[in-house]
Amino acid sequence: MAPSEAIGAARLEALLAGDAPRTTDEARRAALLAQLRGATLGAPEALRARVLAVAPVRRRAFAPRPSRRLVFAVIPAAFAVAVAVAAALVHGLTTGSGSRTVRGAAITTVSHGVAPSVKRPANPPTFSTARGAPSAGGLQSSPSPTLDFAQPAQSALAPAGAANRLQHTDASLQVRVPDVEHLSSATRAATRIATSLGGYAQSIDYQTPQGGNGAAFIELRVPAQNVQRALARLAGLGTLASQEVSVKDLEHALQVESEQVAQLRRRVAALQQALADPALPDAQRVLLQIRLAESKRALAQRLHARKGTVSAGTTARISLVLRTERSVVTPAPPRGRTGRMLHSALGFLGLEGTAALYGLIVLSPLAVLAAFAWLLTRLRRRRDEQRLLAA
């Protein structure tokens, strides 16, 4: 008898399920299946006893362990996210509470050619940092936590550092002017103000695109002792939209650098004195000369750094933006301690995200290679199994 012709998969499934055969071939196949199913084979008693000996009778509550995929992928990922968020929160707690940036917004109306008049804002700006609070990072808060509206607003807004300390002041102002003509004259006036106070304009970016609006971005350097006056006069160039002043204390850095300079100078002197000894062996002389050269180089570096610190402390940087636009960017309301903390934490979280993305980009080729190797290994193993079972 010839073997059955091809029986479709669906019919074979039906025959396996006990469906009645429709053709002779199917009947033959069904008979074969019945013969196979009729065969019996029970496990030997010895095997049964051996297996059941290790099997506990106690029922277990159904509590499956998490799958390996979960253990190896999801849990580490969740842990990494939790660590990142915790790090961001810690960063926010440690740095957010000590922010020394002083923000203030004056609602002042300045008429050109007319003496400035000050209007009291609906919500007087307040400074969130405590007066004279020492800063962990060397910054110092504004000494005027509240505004005195009896005085001109411009001078009241500008925080003044301690006169006897070396401090770097960094200020940015946004001033609104009515039109392009005023923008031009205000730009020139800003340069004159800086010059008259002993400073200079480092850069001027003057933009007057079509449409009647324009802006000038001016970077000014003024002596530290004149920064208050400069801010007051610059604010008077138009309507002050926002002002941000940060003061960084450089006293500690200067002290450290001075100590290092003194120490290096002492070392240089000692080395020079030692080298003046004619009885010094040649080998030791060479060694001392090398050390002297290193010390001199380090001294030059420290002196340069100290010069930079002193320069930063004696010169304030003012970024002035003059705009003709109606809608000048409204300054962010002063944040409380929690707000600053959250802001700092979010910033740090963003930084972490950037770093993670960077790492992902760098590592992705390796991950692809690893996945490829894993697939290759799996394929090879599968072929090996097929070869074994096909023999």
Partner 1 sequence: MTIGRRRAVPQDVHAVSTTLDAPSARAAAPSFAEVAADQLDAVYRYLVLLTGDRSAAEDLAAETFEKAFRTWRRFDPRRGSPRTWLCQIARTSAIDWFRAEARRKRREETYSRDLEHATELLDGLPGPLEQAVRGLSPAEREVVALRVLLELDGPSAARVLGISQTACSTRLSRALKNLEERIDDGPE
Give the footprint of partner 1 on this chain (CB under 8 A): 1-4, 6-7, 9, 12-13, 16, 28-29, 32-33, 35-44, 46-48, 50-52, 54-65, 67, 382, 384-386, 388-391
> 42 or 209, CB closer to partner 1?
42
The secondary structure of 119-174 as a DSSP string is: ---SS-----SPTT---TTSEE--S--S--TTS-HHHHHS----TTS-EEEEEEEE
* Residue whose CB is less far from partner 1, 54 or 361: 54
Phi/psi region, residue 113 (left: phi>0; alpha: psi -120 to 50; beta: rest), is left
Report, in Å, the least distance between residue 376 CB and partner 1.
Answer: 16
Residues 6+ apart with CB under 8 A from 376: none
Helices 227-235 & 180-196 angle (0-180, nearest 10): 160
- Minimum CB separation of residue 31 from partner 1 in Å reads 10
> Is the CB of 51 or the CB of 290 nearer to partner 1?
51
Report the nearest approach of partner 1 to the CB of residue 382 (Å): 7
25-51 core/surface letters (b: 16 or more CB in 10 A; e: else)? bbebbbeeeeeeeeeeeeeeeeeeeee
Sequence-separated (6 or more) residues with CB below 8 Å from residue 11: 19, 22, 26
Closest CA to 234 of 329, 333, 108, 148: 108
Looking at the Cβ atoms of 42 and 281, the one nearer to partner 1 is 42
d(CA 391, CA 380): 17
Give the residue with the Cβ less far from partner 1, 48 or 192. Answer: 48
Q: How far is the CB of 43 from partner 1 (least distance, A)?
A: 4
Minimum CB distance to partner 1 smaller for 2 or for 20: 2
